[in-house]
């Protein structure tokens, strides 16, 4: 049985939902959840047994679910599509916002009332804790649901996510602030209740983070790629983040390999054998690519070529043959735009790399833009290195010469 800790992070919180999907599939029992801000809100949906409803909410989220605003206006601002008349209109809006002392979050409060069920939360077998900051009394609030007054769970969830840009409102006569300003990853809240087996789900959002515990069984699940900004509600990004959370979690739970892809593990001997099977002709081509003047023997391959490739790719000095071959294969797969969110065996990904059609060439305008950029910045060393790595990957992985 584990305690689940969900870091705050606004729109980044969609990542939590993918992680929890993997937790469900793996049959991992969660006995307690603690969260801050969006982590508390997602946690509440899970605790009350409405994960699927929470998933539906995320897949349809928009700015108008959070603040009283015009969706098209926000889209133009976020995507920098403002015209002169837009700027004039925006300046009036900002003046209005300042005079009103923040954004009207009536939609956010209505959403909490609609989707959160206090009775279900209180009757759940899962312990549930949230974090907020009482700025009236200058005191952090770390509280479990049984210590929250009846009828006030929604208020505490709102308080946990209350940002300074929101219009000032009193909850129970007091002012509150987003719990991320005190503890954005509140694992200590669960530790105090006796939970030492923890799953910590990161979003890397701004906020105060305590050093993860050294004792107990602690699993940290962290985004493998960029999950966007806290304040940008983009539905395509939400779906990508849910996918990412799901596969990142499976990677941890199942011991999958890779940095960019999700690859089933194999014994090290498999990768040693793969390298030993490289023909003399392939070794000769790699030597030429690396400008190494040596005979194309297996000894040269293991003593000179492999360390050189590892250094070229920035791998740690003690890298394994598995890490080397997977990193090379991922580099090639990424260039070919092979689907990332899928579990592969090494052979499966190799087959994809060998059969997928290369992406279309960049259009002329894009090429000219890059050329102008390169005139100002010397990136030749970087591009030469990348080209060499890809060429070595071609030699090692492509069909028989």
- Three-state SS string over the chain comes to CEEEEECCCHHHHHHHHHHHHHHHHCCCCEEEEEEECHHHHHHHHHHCCCHHHHHHHHHCCCHHHCCCCCHHHHHHHHCCCCCHHHHHHHHHHHHHHHHCCCECCHHHHHHHHHHCCHHHHHHCCCEEEEEEEECCCCEEEEEEHHHCCCCCHHHHHHHHCCCCCECCCCECCECEEEHHHCCCCCHHHHHCCCCCCEEEECCCCCCCCCCCCCCCCEEEECCCCCCCCCCCCCHHHHHHHHHHHHHHHHHHHHCCECCCCEECCCCHHHHHHHHHCCCHHHHHHHHHHCCCCCCCCHHHHHHHHHHHHHHHCCCCCCCCHHHHHHHHHHHHHHHCCCCCCCEECHHHHHHHHHHCCCCCCCCHHHHHHHHHHHHHCCCHHHHHHHHHHHHHHHHHHCCCC
Per the document, the length of the chain is: 401
Beta-bridge partner residues of 34: 5, 129
* Distance from C-alpha of 232 to C-alpha of 13, rounded to nearest angstrom: 11
Active-site residue list: 37, 178
**Residue carrying structure tokens 């992985």:** 397
């Amino acid at each position: 049985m584990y305690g689940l800790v969900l870091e705050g992070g606004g729109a980044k919180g969609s990542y939590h939902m993918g992680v929890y999907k993997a937790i469900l599939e793996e049959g991992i029992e969660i006995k307690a959840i603690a969260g801050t801000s969006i982590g508390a809100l997602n946690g509440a949906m899970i605790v009350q047994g409405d994960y699927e409803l929470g998933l539906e909410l995320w897949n349809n989220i928009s700015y108008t679910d959070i603040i009283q605003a015009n969706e098209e206006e926000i889209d133009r601002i976020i995507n920098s599509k403002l015209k002169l008349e837009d700027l004039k209109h925006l300046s009036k809006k900002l003046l209005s916002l300042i005079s009103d002392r923040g954004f009207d979050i009536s939609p956010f409060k209505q959403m909490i009332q609609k989707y959160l069920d206090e009775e279900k939360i209180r009757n759940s077998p899962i312990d549930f804790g949230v974090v907020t900051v009482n700025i009236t009394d200058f005191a952090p609030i770390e509280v479990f649901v049984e210590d929250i007054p009846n009828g006030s769970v929604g208020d505490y969830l709102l308080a946990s996510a209350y940002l300074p840009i929101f219009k000032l409102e009193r909850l129970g006569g007091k002012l509150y602030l987003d719990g991320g300003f005190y503890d954005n990853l509140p694992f200590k809240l669960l530790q105090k209740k006796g939970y030492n087996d923890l799953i910590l789900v990161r979003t890397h959002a701004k906020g105060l983070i305590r050093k993860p515990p050294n004792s107990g069984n602690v699993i940290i699940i962290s985004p493998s790629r960029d999950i966007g900004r806290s304040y940008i509600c983009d539905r395509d990004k939400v779906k990508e983040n849910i996918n990412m959370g799901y596969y990142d979690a499976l990677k941890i739970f199942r011991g999958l390999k890779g940095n960019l892809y999700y690859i089933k593990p194999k014994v090290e001997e498999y990768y040693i054998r793969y390298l030993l099977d490289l023909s003399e002709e392939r070794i000769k081509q790699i030597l030429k690519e690396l400008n190494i003047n040596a005979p194309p023997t297996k000894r040269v391959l293991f003593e000179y070529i492999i360390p050189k490739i590892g250094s070229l790719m920035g791998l740690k000095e003690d890298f394994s043959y598995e890490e080397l071959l997977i990193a090379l294969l991922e580099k090639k797969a990424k260039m070919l735009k092979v689907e990332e969110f899928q579990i592969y065996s090494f052979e499966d990904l190799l087959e994809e790399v060998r059969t997928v059609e290369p992406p279309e060439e960049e259009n002329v305008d894009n090429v000219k833009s890059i050329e102008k950029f390169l005139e100002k910045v010397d990136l030749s060393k970087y591009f030469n290195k990348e080209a060499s790595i890809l060429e070595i990957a071609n030699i090692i992985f492509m069909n028989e010469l």
